[in-house]
Structure 1
Amino acid sequence: MPIPEIQLSTWAKSQQTKLAINTHESIRKALNSPISKLKLNRFSEGNHFEIYLQGSYRNKTNIRADSDVDVVVQLNTIFCSNKSQMNPLDRKRYDSVFKSSNYTWNNFKQDILTSLHNYYPPGNIIVGKKSLKLQKGSNRIAADIIPCIQYRYYEKFESEHEDYISGICFYTRDSRREIINYPKLHFHNGADKNSKTKQNYKPTVRLFKNAKKMIINRYSYPLEAPSYYIECLLYNVPNNCFVNNRQDTYIKVVNWLCDNLNSSFICQNEMLNLFGNKPEQWKLENAQYFIQSLIELWENWYNARLRY
C-alpha cells in the first residue's frame, strides 16, 4: 500500500522559523553589544565580520524534528585559501600580495567565546568539537555557533585581478583539522533549484527528511542519513522529477536514485563531493541503505501505520 498523498503533503509543509530568527538576532546582539570583544578588536571591528543563519532553517528545509539552528560568524578581515594547490607562478604572485596575519582564527574564536560569556548568564555556552553551543532559552532555540574565517578558492591568481569562489574555513577543537564549506553557495543553489522546479524542490527535501524520521521511529533502522546529506542527495536528482503531485515525486525521485546513485554525486554547493571517506562526507553504502528504506516504507505503508 503506497503512502497517501495527504501524508506526503503534510511531510512537505514548511515549518515555522520564528524561533530560529529570534536565536539569530540574540546572537547578533551579543556579538555587537558594547561589551563584545569583537567590537573592541581592530581586526574584527565594523563590518569586517558577518553573522548569518545556515543549514535547514536558512534554506527553509527544516522539519519539526530539527531542534537547533546553525549560526555562522564569519571574519572577512583575514582569510585562508587553496594556495598550496597553485602553480609556482600564481603562488609567487599570491605571496607578493598577501602576508600572514597576527590575528588568527583561534583569536577570533576566543573573542567570540569571551563575548558570549559576557552577554549570556553562566552555563549558557558550551565549547563543542566544531562549534560553540548556545543552550535553549526564553524565546529562542539551541544554536551551534560556528566561528570561521573567509575561505577563497582561486582557480588562478593574478595580482591585478582577484577571481575566487568564497567559502568558510574553521578547525576542529581536538585535532585542529581544517574544515572548508560553502554555505552561501549551498543557499543560492538550493534557491535556484527550487525556482527551476516550480517551488517543488524544498518541499521534497522536507518530505524525505520526514520519511527518514518515520523510518527510524517505526522500524528502528540504524540509518546514517543526516539532513544535510539528504538535501545534497536530492540536489543531484534532475529537476523534472520534482512535480506538484507528491506521490509522483516520491516515485520519480526514488526510482531515479535507484538507477543512478554513484560516487560522483556533489554537494549542493557544487564545490565538494558528497560521498567519500572524510568525516564530512557520506558513505555511499549508507545512502544506498537509505534509498532501500524509502522503498520499503512505500511498499509497506499499511504495516508502518499499524505500528504508529
Structure 2
Amino acid sequence: MERAERMVKAAIDAHPAFDGYRSSIKVYAKGSYANRTNVRADSDVDVVVENQHVTYFDYFPRSSAPSPDPNANPYTGRWDDPDDWREEVRLAMVRKFGGGDVDSSGEVAITIAEVTGSRPSADVVPSFDYRRYDSPDRRVAHVGSRVFKRSGGTVANYPDQQKANGIAKDQNTGGRYKKYVRALKNAENFLAAQGINKELPSYFMECLVWNVPNSHIALGGTLDQGFRNTLAYLFNNLLPAAYDYDDWVEPNDLKYLFYGDKWSREDGFKLVDATWELLGYE
C-alpha cells in the first residue's frame, strides 16, 4: 500500500502540466489504510491528489453566510475548471501506469488496477482545498477537501479530523475501537460473500462503531465481551423505535451519518443483527 501511494505521488511529480504548481499539490493517503482500520479483503488504498492553488469554501449553516461576503475573491487562474484538474490527474496516471490500468469511469475516484504481489488497487481522488466556516466572521473554520463528482455536485471530506478522532477514541478505549471496526468489516465481508447481507461501503462500519460510547466499547474483560457490548448498543439504538440515530455523525464529527443516500439506519441494523447471529451471541 505504501508503494502504491509513492507511485501515485511520482506520477504527479512527473506530469508536465503541473510544472509551476507542484508546491500547491498535496498527495496523501486517506480512508481505512491511512487510519489503520483496513482489513485484508478490502486491500485498496485511497490517495488524494489535492489542488491547494484553489480554495473552495462554504458557510454552515448556509443561512449564516454574509451577503455580500466581504471575503469572497473568485479564482480565475489555471485551475478554475474542476473537470480540467481531474483530466490532468487522469493523464498523469496514464503516463505512469498505462491506459489499460487506469479506469476513470467512477463517480469520484480514478482507479489504478492491482498488480498481484506488487501493489494493491488504488483509488486516486482529485480534490481541492476546502474550508467550512461555522460562523459569518470565519473565526470557526474546518479544513478539508472538496471533491467534484463526474455527474455533478460535490463532496466535502475531512481526513485530518477523522484520523485525529480515530486515534483519540482508540486510545480512550484501550485499543479496542479500531479492532472492533476491523472485526465488523470482516463480518460484513463474510456476510456479503455468503449472500446473507448486502455489500456495504467499508467506511460505514467505521462510522457505526464511532457512534458507540467509549464506555460500551471498553466494557467487559475480554475483547469478545467488549465486541458483544458494542453490537448490543448498535442493535438497541438502530431499532426502528429508536429516535437518537438522527444525531449520529461520521468519525470526522462534522457530517451527519444518515443524511443522504449512501446508506440507511436499516442497513446498519441488518448488518449488526446478522453479525450477532453469525457469532452465536445470545
TM-score by length of 1: 0.80
- Report how many residues are paired: 269
CA distance in 2, matches of 1:91, 1:191: 40
Report the alpha carbon displacement of residue 172 of structure 1 after superposing the two structures with TM: 1.6
Sequence identity (%): 24
SS of residue paired to 2:71: helix
Aligned to 1:22: 3
Question: Is 1:203 paired with 2:183?
Answer: no
Cα distance in structure 2, aligned partners of 1:205 and 1:88: 37
5 Å-filtered alignment, 1:55-134, equals 55-83=31-59, 85=62, 87=64, 89=66, 91-95=68-72, 98-102=73-77, 103-104=79-80, 105-127=82-104, 128-134=106-112
Aligned residue number for residue 8 of structure 1: none
CA RMSD of aligned residues (A): 2.2
Residues 123-161 of structure 1: CA distance to partner in whole angstroms, max 9, x if unpaired? 121112211111123621111100000111011244xx7
Higher relative contact order (CA 8 A, sep 6+): 1
CA shift, 1:92, in A, is 2.2
Secondary structure at the counterpart of residue 93 of structure 1:
coil
1:88 and 1:255 map into 2 onto residues whose CA distance is: 42
Unaligned runs of at least 5 residues, structure 1: 1-19, 302-308
Instruction: Give yes or no for the alignment of 1:236 onto 2:219.
Output: no
Cα pair 1:241 1:253 within 8 Å, conserved: yes
Give the equivalent residue in structure 2 for 1:168. 145
CA contact (8 A) 2:228 2:281 kept: no
Instruction: Quote the residue 2:237 is aligned against.
Output: 260
Which stretch of the first structure deviates more once superposed, 233-242 or 253-262?
Answer: 253-262
Asked if 2 retains the 8 angstrom alpha-carbon contact of 1:149 and 1:169, the reply is: yes
Give the greater-gyration-radius structure (CA): 1
Secondary structure of the structure 1 residue equivalent to 2:23: coil
**Could you say what secondary structure the match of 1:242 adopts?**
helix
TM-score normalised to the size of structure 2?
0.87
Inter-CA distance 183–70: structure 2 relative to 1 (3 Å threshold): same
Matched residue SS, 1:58: helix
Residue 187, structure 1, aligned to residue 170, structure 2? no
Structure 1 partner of 2:242: none
Q: Structure 2 counterpart of 1:253, which letter?
A: T
- In the alignment, which residue of structure 2 is the partner of 1:47? 23
The alpha-carbon distance between structure 1 residues 285 and 123, as it changes in their structure 2 partners (threshold 3 A), is same
Q: Could you report, residue by residue, the CA deviation over 1:200-246 in whole angstroms, capped at 9, with x for unpaired residues?
A: 1111111111122232334x213243210110110010112234622
**Contact between 1:79 and 1:149, CA under 8 Å: does it hold in 2?**
yes
Code of the residue aligned with 1:142 in structure 2: it is S
Deviations 1:18-61 (A, max 9, x none): xx10100011111112x4422x1x4xx13211111111111111
Matched residue SS, 1:165: strand
Distance 1:76 1:91, change over 3 A: farther
Q: Secondary structure at the match of 2:263?
A: coil
